[in-house]
């Protein structure tokens, strides 16, 4: 009898601890959505979602909502990738996103012909929308730790960028063949 009470108590404490950790963990989730883009910035039980899909779309319900449910997110705001945002935990200006201490550049066709006088230092460079670029061109303008290749890029561009990234010994992650990439706010990837 006492052993079963102790076991029930351990299970309850373990469950509460997992729920507490899930609610208090901040993370970024880059989703594989084939022809669409989706990034979830989770802060506690709140999330800001950058996507070209509205919450009523069936692709949103299939690709984004399951992550929100598993991450215990109850309060969401959805914005298009082009919208500037200024919230208590996320700032987005044009193509640059700041979340906690992480900086992300959303590199698309609008940036492909821009040349910077000084390298812009960012943590992650998300390549989306099939822009005409190369690793050399990106490295000339940006200093970044990880390249993330979105699933909405063409197969030829993805294959070419992967070959270039391997040759340059660059850390990269391709969403085309993977489900998603989750980055904790302390930058641990799992």
pLDDT of residue 18: 54
- Kindly report, residue by residue over 11-55, the tens digit of the pLDDT: 656 655 555 555 557 999 999 887 888 999 999 999 999 998 888
Q: At 55, phi and psi to the nearest 5? A: -60, -20
- Kindly report, residue by residue over 83-136, the tens digit of the pLDDT: 999 999 999 999 999 998 899 999 999 998 888 889 999 999 999 999 999 999
Is the entire prediction scored with pTM above 0.85?
A: no
Contacts of 128 (CB under 8 A, 6+ apart): 37, 81, 106, 107, 108, 150, 152, 153
Q: Round the CA-based radius of gyration of the chain to a whole number and report it.
A: 19
pLDDT of residue 188: 43
pLDDT of residue 114: 83
């Amino acid at each position: 009898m006492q052993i079963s009470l102790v076991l029930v108590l351990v299970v309850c404490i373990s469950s509460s601890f997992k729920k507490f950790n899930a609610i208090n963990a901040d993370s970024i989730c880059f989703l594989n959505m084939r022809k669409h883009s989706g990034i979830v910035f989770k802060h506690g039980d709140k999330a800001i979602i950058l996507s070209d899909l509205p919450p009523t779309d069936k692709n949103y319900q299939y690709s984004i909502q399951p992550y929100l449910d598993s991450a215990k997110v109850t309060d969401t705001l959805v914005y298009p990738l082009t919208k500037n945002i200024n919230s208590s935990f996320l700032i987005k200006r044009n193509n640059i996103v700041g979340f906690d201490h992480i900086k992300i550049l959303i590199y698309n066709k609008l940036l492909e012909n821009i040349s910077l006088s000084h390298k812009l230092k960012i943590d992650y460079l998300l390549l989306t929308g099939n822009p005409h670029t190369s690793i050399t061109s990106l490295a000339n303008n940006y200093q970044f730790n990880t390249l993330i290749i979105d699933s909405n890029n063409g197969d030829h561009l993805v294959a070419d960028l992967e070959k270039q990234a391997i040759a340059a010994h660059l850390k990269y992650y391709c969403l085309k063949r993977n489900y998603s990439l989750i980055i904790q706010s302390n930058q641990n990837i799992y």
